Structure 1
Amino acid sequence: MKLKDFFEIGDAECIEPSVFDHIDEYYNTLVLAVNAGEARLLVDENEMPLAVAWNSDGNWSISSYLYRNITYDIIGKFEGCTGEIFQEKRDDYESALREYYCGKITDEYPEVGEDNREGRHEMILDLFKDTVGVSDGKSAIDFCCGSGVASKALFSAGYLPLSMDNDPYLISVGLHKGRLDPKRTLCIDASFSSYFCPKSDLGTGLMLGDISGFNSDLWQGIVAQMLMLTGKTLITVATEKESLLIRKWCENAGRTPEIFENENDPIYDRWVCLC
């Protein structure tokens, strides 16, 4: 389903320009400024608000409340409009919302190259089989997914990955090449993962870095999010020095990491941290 189908309306645009903007309370202010005489409220299976579609002079716009709370002022604005209430499953709407923004990204980058080298998918799949094993549908989060090479390998290993990266071009590559699922892909800063992602069985972050003195705080924050959200975590980096930093951060979080050198792929995933 497309977003508009949940409200039984024609073409509609989201008020928030990107999915990452959904955590910004500023957009509640924009909603209150919309001149709408008609509105449609969407609630989930527990009757919690998911989104509101606003009709302003025949133009529909949608504001969503998956990642920030709806306010009493916005509810009051809806009640002041001619309106209807619809109900759908939260997961279905969230998938459609991700797909909407992935469509924006592929529209912005309609022509892409290929950043994957031959054989890398098989190398990553072998790494997964040797470390975290195959699955029968367990949940996973692929942090800093790039163009989705690891996400595709996770799927091949039987996991159901939710993928994220902050580079829209790389995401577009993954979407165009079929490695990323638009219903399960987010263009966000991984430092804010907990706003967008439920806890999962497995977390992966392949080829993190470069991690250096001036940006180590940034990467430490991302690793902290990974450890908080995932039961088992697999991280790869290029250098032993980086792996020792990862070890320290994992130990500080109460994990017991296993660090080893991956002889099968000395270029991309040379040092592996499993915890």
Structure 2
Amino acid sequence: MLLQELLGIDEEIYLIEESYTSQRTPERTLQYLNRFRNFPDSGNTRVIRVREAGHTLGLLFFNPADGDVPVDFWSVFTGAFAPAALKARFEALADSLLALNPPEKNVELSYETWLSAVNEYYSLMLVNRNLCVSCSVRPESYSSVFSENRINRVTEILELLRKKGYYPEGRLLEVCCGNGMSTLALYRSGLDPLAIEINKCTVCQGLEQQVLNPQKVMVMDATAVSRYFDPGSFDAVMGFMLGLIYEFNKELWIRIIREAVSVAADGAVLLFTVSSKPEIEILANALSKAGVEGEIVDNKDVEGAYDQWLFVGRKQKSALSIQ
């Protein structure tokens, strides 16, 4: 595991919060750290501090094996992914604890490296069925789940974007990634997106098949990305085969579009594909209203199944971020 490698430890590791999205409002972390200050032997605990430029990204506390827990392990606390006010509370608590109990080791890491390690932890917990109380889903073979024709279809779209001057570069976000079929095409094209998907079973499937990168995938609701990422966080936001989009459910998809635009930087590429013209017209209208200038592209092929219509454009500087 990357966390163990970076921190130079062999023991098991457990993060206090149950998911990355919980890390955004780490109430359990703050409560535990407050209680820890009152433990009688809190000044004699082994501690590792993870920091960047003097700021504490995380604290690890050693828990020796006993009658209830048969193995040694480290508890991991972090406030690095929380909003500024909660992050400040975490750092203040960390400072007060470290004043009583100096760390045995300081580990310097960048925020991006720490994020990748934490993401990998949650991905491995998911694929190892540690986040599901009673999972009845059995692993399937790669060939029964993934279609090379579908992957090639996305690769062809990327080549089309290159010709049109919309090729995605820089910080990339893929929304509604599913099991990673389209993500795999992005990887093969040399792109390295952060992929999000609300359905943890499909994410688990992609991880089982070693398609999704465990360090760059999150179980997350695409209608709420602005809760977790700041405005301007991404240079391109993509979503492949969104839908099915109808008049009765279009507000859900419009919200996803608005959220995508809200975390895109000025000039960022926005790309979305669907299977029908009415669907892409709904998305194109929402993108235009959100300040994205672009075009609908007829991408139909003889199979008539995937990515038949797409919208691609750029966020204009006058576009307003969604708060």
TM-score class, shorter? 0.7 to 0.9
Q: 1:252 aligns with which of 285, 289, 292?
A: 289
Where 1:95 maps in the other structure, the secondary structure is helix
Question: How far apart in 1 are the matches of 2:210 and 2:21?
Answer: 23
What is the alpha-carbon root mean square deviation over aligned residues? 2.7
Distance 1:269 1:102, change over 3 A: same
Where 1:24 maps in the other structure, the secondary structure is coil
How far apart are 1:175 and its partner, in Å?
A: 1.7
1:13 aligns to what? 14
1:54 aligns to what? 61
How far apart are 1:233 and its partner, in Å?
A: 1.0
Q: Does the Cα contact within 8 Å between 1:135 and 1:158 map onto a contact in 2?
A: no
Identify unmatched segments of 5+ residues in structure 1.
none
Question: How far apart in 2 are the matches of 1:193 and 1:24?
Answer: 14
Q: 1:81 aligns with which of 85, 101, 118?
A: 101
Distance 1:33 1:152, change over 3 A: same
How far apart are 1:56 and its partner, in Å?
A: 4.5
Where 1:182 maps in the other structure, the secondary structure is coil
How far apart are 1:126 and its partner, in Å?
A: 0.5
Equivalence map 1:190-209=2 (5 Å): 190-194=222-226, 195-196=228-229, 199-209=233-243
1:272 aligns to what? 310
Q: 1:189 aligns with which of 207, 211, 221?
A: 221
Q: Percent identity at matched positions?
A: 22
Distance 1:33 1:214, change over 3 A: farther
Superimposed CA distance per residue, residues 76-125 of structure 1 (whole angstroms, 9 cap, x where no aligned partner): 23433342432122222211111111101110178422433341111111
Equivalence map 1:123-142=2 (5 Å): 123-132=153-162, 138-142=170-174
Count of matched residue positions in the alignment of Structure 1 and Structure 2: 274
Runs of 4 or more consecutive aligned structure 1 residues displaced over 4 Å after TM superposition: 34-37, 56-59, 132-137
Superimposed CA distance per residue, residues 141-178 of structure 1 (whole angstroms, 9 cap, x where no aligned partner): 11111111111111222222111111121112212223
How far apart are 1:14 and its partner, in Å?
A: 0.3
The letter of the residue matching 1:90 is Y
Equivalence map 1:114-263=2 (5 Å): 114-132=144-162, 138-194=170-226, 195-196=228-229, 199-213=233-247, 215-230=249-264, 231-263=268-300
| Rg (Cα) greater in structure | 2
How far apart are 1:193 and its partner, in Å?
A: 2.6
Q: Does the Cα contact within 8 Å between 1:14 and 1:63 map onto a contact in 2?
A: yes
Q: TM-score, normalised by structure 1?
A: 0.87
Distance 1:154 1:213, change over 3 A: same
Distance 1:24 1:154, change over 3 A: same
2:23 aligns to what? 22
How far apart are 1:202 and its partner, in Å?
A: 2.1
How far apart are 1:261 and its partner, in Å?
A: 2.6
Deviates more, 1:22-31 or 1:151-160: 22-31
Q: TM-score, normalised by structure 2?
A: 0.75
